[in-house]
Amino acid sequence: MRELTTQDTIKKHHMRRQNLVLTSSHKYQLQIIFFEDRGFQGHCYECSSDHANLQSYFSRCNSIRVDSGCWMIYERTNYSGHQYYLRRGEYPDYQEWMGINDSIRSCRIIPYTGSHRMRLYEREDYKGQMMELTDDCSCVHDRFHLNEIYSLNVLDGCWILYEMPNYRGRQFLLRPGEYRRYLDWGAMNAKVGSLRRVIDIY
């Protein structure tokens, strides 16, 4: 990670967009650029890997440009606090990523996988009714007649969990693994409104 001027960043952005080749065998140079001010102004910092503590690089974040890759950015250090899912594109204001403030303190690359499968349980520790999901679900209640999910087992792929239906509300990144209780995915309650696969091609 290094500091850039705004002009340098804009030039490099256009060069990368022109030279990026999307093939299945290509090793992508993933890139996210953080700007302290709105509209891609002020000091800016680029990052191409997971980073657990960004606070020494900038004091605030009011706009972001994602050159490539899918990312989860976090309000606090060590991948904690509010989480926000970003795809390739431009975010000129923190409200564009549904942020509650201009604090971004860590970020993580979301790896791409070809298949997605997860199991949802109505109780902790994989007890009670089990439901399997392999595609996006805009409303958990409409599909499974439940408002709360107490444990999850992500078998394949990465997912974004939303507290509210239609992919709204607080977001949580689910990577392959076991989540025996809602605290394991960082939530304060068992409310699950919708689920979406991370399927974007870099």
Query: In the prediction, which pLDDT does 3 show?
Result: 52
**pLDDT tens per residue across span 40-80:** 999 999 999 999 999 999 999 999 999 988 999 999 999 99
- Residue 43 near residue 57 (C-beta atoms within 8 A): no
Compute CA distances 83 → 21, 93, 127, 192, 201, whole Å: 29, 16, 28, 15, 21
Its pTM stands at 0.82
Residue 15 has pLDDT above 60, yes or no: no
- Residue 63 near residue 95 (C-beta atoms within 8 A): no
Query: In the prediction, which pLDDT does 169 show?
Result: 94
**pLDDT tens per residue across span 106-116:** 999 998 878 99
Nearest to 112 by CA among 153, 71, 155: 71
| Topology of domain 117-197, CATH | Gamma-B Crystallin; domain 1 (2.60.20)
- Residue 55 near residue 61 (C-beta atoms within 8 A): no
Topology match between the domains 2-109 and 117-197 = yes
Domain boundaries, the chain: 2-109, 117-197
* Choices 3.40.50.300, 2.60.20.10, 1.10.357.10, 3.40.190.10: CATH for 2-109: 2.60.20.10
- Residue 116 near residue 159 (C-beta atoms within 8 A): yes
d(CA 158, CA 180): 17
Paired residues of 106 in beta bridges: 74
**pLDDT tens per residue across span 170-190:** 999 999 999 999 999 999 999
Query: In the prediction, which pLDDT does 26 show?
Result: 35
Give the DSSP letter of residue 25. T
